[in-house]
Structure 1
């Protein structure tokens, strides 16, 4: 299975282009992004079959095109926990197999998909891990870049590989003074007290 990442800030036509170009059949998203970014373009994505909503959400989803099932993350986790699914045969990927198709955000025109192999991912993770000594389950990583950014994806994968806790944030909630933090409330970095964070200049 290949992971496809798209920035939520892309317009509807650009998102539909990426989903169609890669023939996406499953989407993981939040309720907010489903309602504000995806719902209007779903009819333009004929191969899409399943949408998994990761946050707390209703158990039924009226008003979606026929042929598309919307699921809550809890239902997917329950399905994955069934004993018959744990014992299924898995075919490990080759290093040359495509692991991720990551769509650009800053290019002109329609976004372009960058193909990243499993070998590329492992090489990047190995390089990162070598530069962060003694990374372990006592560390907390705070993720605030979009997962569509290669640095964020790599940093989170390194953290998971070493048993780190991962907490999620955004530029609007990162600090106590961030724009979406109520006066007197704590920002994500104060609450999570991270030992690691990836940032771009």
Structure 2
């Protein structure tokens, strides 16, 4: 599918075919494509928790107020992010760069994040959104459908997936084959209102 078609036909789908199954290899391909999304300072904050266990999926569905896509979609991904990647992984993500670049980036990253918890959280949420959108477009490009989700009990899902203390959940993404058509696009604000040239 051409990229323009994937973008224009991607919709949030709530009804999935529970009989349709993606192989482990197909799931891995989608997740690996999503990893090409950018992350600030190359920190690669995002961690994908791909939930295959049916019993765990059922528990997550309870924490998502019974939403069927949690169990019916072929793939469910909890998009998480490591809040302290800026300090924990800086050496790893710049390994292989010239020494002067590594030194410069380590200082710039430390200056940007240290003692700024809101900046740390904002940054992982931005990275998570970029990764999730890339995952959904990769899925659409292969003729699949998806649904981004934040309608769930974040604390309950965190406990179910053993979320580490230094991580947060940004959203979940369900991927599979739709059995319902997307609802018509409604309420779209005029382009002239949402695209601003130079200044408000």
TM-score range, shorter chain: under 0.3
Report the structure, 1 or 2, having the larger helix content.
Answer: 2
TM-score by length of 2: 0.23
TM-score normalised over the length of structure 1: 0.23
